[in-house]
């Protein structure tokens, strides 16, 4: 099997022996649990669309390893066309889900580890790349969902990993033997981890010699002994137990993140792709970050398409759609959305091959994409809330709407234009409320790294010395002199 269906994906999750907790209780079936079901549904879309002829060119591709047709989320980019199709695919799926579908992080991790292990082997004489290719073959043939696992809890940010009062605040190697390694620590904010088959662990920062035990990359089944998942709270997540109030009932909001604890987890050598080679940790972090920041104009572009549609709809339901200022604000939302998308297209079009043959995006432009997202998404959300009106924050619940005694008052006093039902007005208002609320915006700010992390990379990639040289030449100054 190389292409699962959404239903086959759900069945494969039922076969896992996951150790998942949410709200202080152990979850026996993630597929059926109200808190997690929407995220499973969103990820299922990435499987079902692979069987849709209208999406085939974007969602499927030929494996460079086997020559077989595979899901693009398990592919290693072989050209700028692959990078461009990735962005277009992300926007298309976001238009269908209105939220995160969680496979991007693992997709980017596979590509980053693929090229970095190749270069490590060339310099160090290791066999990490061959191990990675064996793992990748299994991922492609079984159409597995991989969770990219980079972010550590970090503890005191002013201290290096080895200086922390608690060494487990960064994932590290605690034992090496003939069979493999044992690791301990935790990975935080893990998007889609509880409904993934594998987690691909990577270091979270550049490391020095004193921190070499933290330089580890490996693949771990999500239900391996010692792996504990603690599902995170989201804004308004109790509404998932209802229907209307959650806004996007089928697919939820954001990606179902969790804290994943690694309590002395054994990893066999064939699944280890970095073991104390601290000099390579920073390279892997930067390469992964570039791939992941590339995504945001695609996925956030698609989500913004939904939000623009919802905003235009609520304007119609409110009777304000013809107002010139409303039209102008919606025009601005479109402009900002296409600005985000164009950045992702640009960094993909200017991609180039790594030594492994896999293609990497333009790192400078990829970081510019994510920096823009940390600002423009907030303005898009602000405009949506402006047009929708304050009632999106003060609506009674759906239980009040259907209540035998007070429901008639909710129906009466939350009516907009006469031709639209009160329930439909409330539904679209709830969608806007949840798409522009806390969890969704925090992810736009901190997903794929904080704004400052992008600014560091932008300055590092800016080639400021060359810009100074260009200016000196035009000013008639010898560029090799001060």
Q: Give the pLDDT confidence score for residue 97 in this predicted structure.
A: 97
- Give the global pTM: 0.95
Number of H-type helices and E-type strands within the chain = 16, 14
> What single-letter DSSP state applies at residue 15?
T
Residue 481, in any domain of the structure: no
Burial 294-313 (b: 16+ CB within 10 A, else e): bbbbbbbbbbbbbbbebbbb
**Same domain as 264, residue 302:** no
A 10 A CB-CB count for 265 gives 23
Residue 3 within a domain: no
| Closest by Cα among 332, 427, 439 to 380 | 332
| Mean pLDDT of the chain, nearest integer | 96
C-alpha dihedral (473, 475, 481, 482), degrees to nearest 10? -140
CB neighbours of residue 388 within 10 Å: 24
Give mean pLDDT, residues 224-251. 91
Same domain, 205 and 312: no
Contact 128, 122 (CB under 8 A): no
> What tokens appear for 294 in the block?
């590339």
Mark whether 299 and 446 lie in a shared domain.
Answer: yes
Mean pLDDT computed over 390-412: 96
Task: Choose one of 253, 280, 307: the last residue of a domain.
Answer: 280
Distance separating alpha carbons of residues 140 and 135, to the nearest angstrom: 9
pLDDT of 239 strictly over 90 = no
Instruction: Identify the CATH number of the domain in which residue 267 sits.
Output: 2.40.110.10
pLDDT of residue 214: 98
Strands (E) in 23-78, as ranges, are 25-27, 60-62, 69-71
**SS3 label, residue 322:** coil
Determine, yes or no, domain membership for 482. no
State yes or no: pLDDT of 149 exceeds 90: yes
- Provide mean pLDDT across the span 221-249: 92
Domain boundary among 280, 301, 317: 280
* Same-domain check for residues 32 and 98: yes
pLDDT at 1 over 70: no
Instruction: Look at residue 1 and tell me if it is in a domain.
Output: no
What mean pLDDT do residues 355-378 have?
97
300/255 same-domain check: no
Whether 188 maps to a domain, the answer reads: yes
Q: Quickly state the pLDDT bin for 416 (edges 50, 70, 90).
A: very high
171-184 average pLDDT score? 98
**119 occurs within a structural domain:** yes
In a domain, 480, yes or no: no
Torsion of Cα atoms, 164 then 166 then 168 then 169, to 10°: -50
Task: Kindly report the backbone phi and psi dihedral angles of residue 85, in degrees, each rounded to the nearest multiple of 5, phi listed first.
Answer: -65, -30
Is 451 in contact with 445 (CB distance < 8 Å)?
yes
Regarding whether 254 and 358 lie in a shared domain, the answer is no
- Same domain flag for 196 and 273: yes
CATH number for 330: 1.20.140.10
Please check whether residues 73 and 144 belong to one and the same domain: yes
- Where a domain ends, among 221, 256, 280? 280
CA 11 centroid distance within chain: 23
Write the DSSP assignment of 390-419 as a string of letters: GGGGTPPPHHHHT-TTTHHHHHHHT--STT
Range of the domain at 108: 9-280
The partner residues of 190 in beta bridges, in order of sequence, read: 258
Which residues are the active-site residues?
100, 104, 191, 257, 292, 296, 299, 443
Predicted local confidence at residue 351, as pLDDT: 98
220 and 302 co-located in one domain: no
The count of domains in the chain is 2
Distance in angstroms (rounded) separating the CA atoms of residues 184 and 200: 14
Residue 207 forms part of a structural domain: yes
Q: Are residues 108 and 241 in the same domain?
A: yes
Is the separation of the CB atoms in 143 and 2 below 8 Å? yes
Instruction: Sort 50 into a burial class: Cβ within 10 Å, 0-12 / 13-18 / 19+.
Output: buried
Question: pLDDT at position 439, please?
Answer: 83
Whether residue 224 is found in the same domain as residue 354? no
Structure tokens that stand for 381 in this block: 């959300």
Residues 237 and 131 in one domain: yes
Task: Work out the burial of residue 447: count CB atoms within 10 Å of its CB; fewer than 13 is exposed, 13-18 middle, 19 or more buried.
Answer: buried
């Amino acid at each position: 099997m190389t292409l699962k269906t959404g239903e086959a994906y759900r069945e494969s999750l039922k076969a896992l022996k996951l150790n998942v907790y949410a709200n202080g209780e152990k979850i026996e079936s993630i597929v059926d649990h109200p808190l997690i079901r929407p995220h499973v549904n969103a990820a299922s879309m990435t499987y079902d669309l692979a069987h849709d002829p209208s999406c085939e060119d974007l969602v499927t591709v030929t494996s460079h390893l086997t020559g077989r047709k595979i899901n693009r989320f398990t592919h290693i980019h072989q050209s700028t066309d692959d990078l461009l199709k990735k962005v277009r695919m992300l926007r298309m799926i976001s238009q269908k889900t209105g939220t995160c579908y969680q496979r991007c992080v693992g997709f980017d991790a596979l590509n980053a580890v693929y090229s970095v292990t190749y270069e490590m082997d060339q310099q160090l004489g290791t066999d990490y790349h061959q191990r990675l290719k064996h793992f990748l073959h299994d991922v492609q043939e079984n159409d597995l969902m991989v969770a990219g696992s980079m972010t550590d809890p970090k503890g005191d940010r002013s201290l290096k990993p080895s200086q922390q009062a608690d060494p487990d605040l960064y994932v590290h190697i605690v034992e090496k033997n003939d069979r493999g390694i044992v690791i301990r620590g935790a990975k935080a904010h893990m998007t889609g981890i509880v409904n993934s088959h594998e987690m691909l662990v990577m270091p979270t920062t550049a490391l020095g010699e004193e921190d070499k035990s933290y330089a580890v990359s490996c693949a771990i089944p999500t239900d391996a002994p010692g792996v504990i998942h603690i599902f995170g709270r989201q804004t308004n997540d109790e509404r998932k137990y209802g229907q209307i109030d959650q806004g996007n009932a089928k697919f939820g909001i954001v990606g179902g993140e969790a804290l994943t604890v690694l309590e002395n987890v054994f990893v066999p050598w064939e699944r280890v792709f970095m073991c104390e080679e601290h000099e390579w940790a920073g390279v892997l972090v930067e390469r992964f970050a570039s791939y992941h920041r590339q995504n945001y104009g695609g996925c956030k572009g698609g989500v913004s398409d939904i939000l623009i549609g919802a905003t235009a709809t609520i304007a119609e339901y409110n009777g304000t759609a013809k107002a010139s200022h409303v039209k102008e604000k919606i025009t601005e939302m479109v402009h900002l959305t296409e600005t985000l998308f164009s950045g992702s297209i640009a960094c993909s079009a200017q991609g180039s091959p790594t030594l492994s043959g896999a293609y990497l995006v333009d790192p400078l432009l990829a970081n510019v994409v994510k920096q823009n997202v940390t600002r423009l998404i907030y303005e898009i959300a602000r405009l949506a809330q402006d047009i929708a009106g304050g009632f999106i924050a003060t609506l009674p619940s759906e239980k009040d709407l259907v209540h035998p005694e007070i429901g008639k008052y909710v129906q009466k006093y939350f009516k907009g234009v006469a031709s639209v039902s009160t329930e439909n007005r409330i539904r679209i208002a709830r969608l806007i409320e949840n798409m522009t609320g806390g969890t969704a915006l925090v992810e736009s700010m901190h997903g794929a790294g904080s704004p400052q992390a992008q600014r560091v990379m932008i300055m590092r990639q800016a080639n400021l010395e060359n810009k100074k040289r260009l200016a000196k030449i035009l000013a008639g100054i010898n560029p090799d002199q001060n």
